[in-house]
Structure 1
Amino acid sequence: MHRRAAAVRRGIAVRPVRAAIILAGGRSSRMGADKLGLHIDGRSLLQRAVAAGLAWSEHIVVAGPQPPEWSHDPRVEFVPEDPPFGGPVAGIAAALAAAGDADEVFLLAGDLAAPAQVVSVLADAPMGSDGVILEDADGWAQYLAGRYCADSVRRALGELGDVRNVSVRRALGTLVVHRVAADRPITADLDTPNDAKIAGAVDIRDELPRIDLPGRLHE
């Protein structure tokens, strides 16, 4: 870290340190079952979100419990919300602490139907002073489909004090972000059984396959 700071002072171009944060807590009460265990095209929603994050960063922090069938990957760590079930902002805070000295963070909801497309659209999109996010077809900001300056998120969370049960809009809504309009299939998330049906998600957790992530480092 000291060498990095010295390089910046000397005007040497330094690649930003990145971390992708996957929000995977919550009770899935509207779905009636753990929605991140639902599968689309042979992979769970959580596997799909992590794989999407790995296309952008080699450091993934999942805010939520590690599934018992999860294949170990040293690039992926799981951290609990603090307090448990304290809401997505509590998850962001816990994951951001685990992200260390990251300069940029990608925030991804774990229940996105198309996380790879989200990352593809935003990976090289121009940022506002604090970040860049998707905007859905109805004009709503999608804060959990966004790439941010990590210090901006740290500052926003610090201004809150208590992060428990705080809405994402309240936490991040003051940030100056560039919005990228996206069609509904890209911004869709899975909250209800009908959402799952539309996305073609199925529940096969009784016979979960063991699937390695792309580019997984072999032990």
Structure 2
Amino acid sequence: MSYDTVAGIILAGGRSRRMGQDKAGLEFEGVTMLTRVAGVVEQRCAPVLVAAPETSQAYRELSRESDLRWVTDEKQGSGPLGGLAAALAAAGAAGADVAFVCATDMPLIGTGLIEELLAGLTEQADAVIARDAQRDHPMAGVYRTRVAETLQALVDGGELRMTAAVEALDTRRVSVTDENWLTNVDAPEDLHRLRVGSVS
């Protein structure tokens, strides 16, 4: 099935406790992490939405650096699940039925990841998420915008786990052909490994 109109959602509202600073603004190969990820997502998706509260460092420091659309109305303290719910609602309001979702700390994503996830989306499925040899990656997936209300209900009920979204939806999993796409930068040592080219 072909999807010509796909929104992009970048989740950038995390507190980055292990990193010690906002990951969206980290420099990687001469640009911020957010700029790098957005540059890939923009090749396939429109509009591209960045979910981050107005109180976040990412929004305060990066919101004027690009033409990205910022979604700032997520419930305070609701984590990536709250950001996802708010951004899916905004993408649906913009006319998109499907959105590719990723985190701002995934600098090695490629458009091939988006295409492989879209290829796994069926009429019945609410979401398709990437899977590697170890685990699911709910923050690397495509989601129907119609599920925004379902996810918001989870958030309103106090749920914070992204895995709760996977459990609540009709979710398919795709084993991607390049697991480097799923590389996360969670801590300073992760960023160092990427900078010296030792992705594992």
The TM-score, its normalising length taken from structure 1, stands at 0.73
Equivalent of residue 142 in structure 1, options 117, 137, 141: 137
Task: Tell me if 1:188 matches 2:183.
Answer: yes
Deviates more, 1:61-70 or 1:23-32: 61-70
Which structure has the bigger radius of gyration?
A: 1
Q: Kindly state the Cα deviation for residue 134 of structure 1 after the two structures are TM-superposed.
A: 0.9
What is the number of residues matched between the two proteins?
184
Amino acid at match of 2:27: H
Higher helix share: 2
Q: Equivalent residue for 1:66?
A: 59
The residue correspondences of 1:205-216 to structure 2 (distance < 5 A) are: none
Q: Is the 8 A contact 1:104 1:149 kept in 2?
A: yes
Task: Tell me if 1:93 matches 2:85.
Answer: yes
Amino acid at match of 2:142: R
Q: Equivalent residue for 1:11?
A: none
Q: Secondary structure at the match of 1:51?
A: helix
Identity of aligned residues (%): 32
**Pair 90,164 (structure 1): closer, same or farther in 2 beyond 3 Å:** farther
Task: Tell me if 1:115 matches 2:103.
Answer: no
**Pair 163,61 (structure 1): closer, same or farther in 2 beyond 3 Å:** farther
The residue correspondences of 1:1-219 to structure 2 (distance < 5 A) are: 17-64=5-52, 65-68=58-61, 70-73=64-67, 76-99=68-91, 100=93, 101-116=95-110, 119-122=113-116, 124-128=118-122, 129-138=125-134, 140-151=135-146, 153-160=147-154, 162=156, 166-182=160-176, 183-200=178-195
Amino acid at match of 1:84: Q
What's the RMSD between the two structures over aligned residues?
2.6
**Pair 166,18 (structure 1): closer, same or farther in 2 beyond 3 Å:** same
Q: Is the 8 A contact 2:41 2:48 kept in 1?
A: yes
Output the CA distance in 2 between the equivalents of 1:146 and 1:163: 23
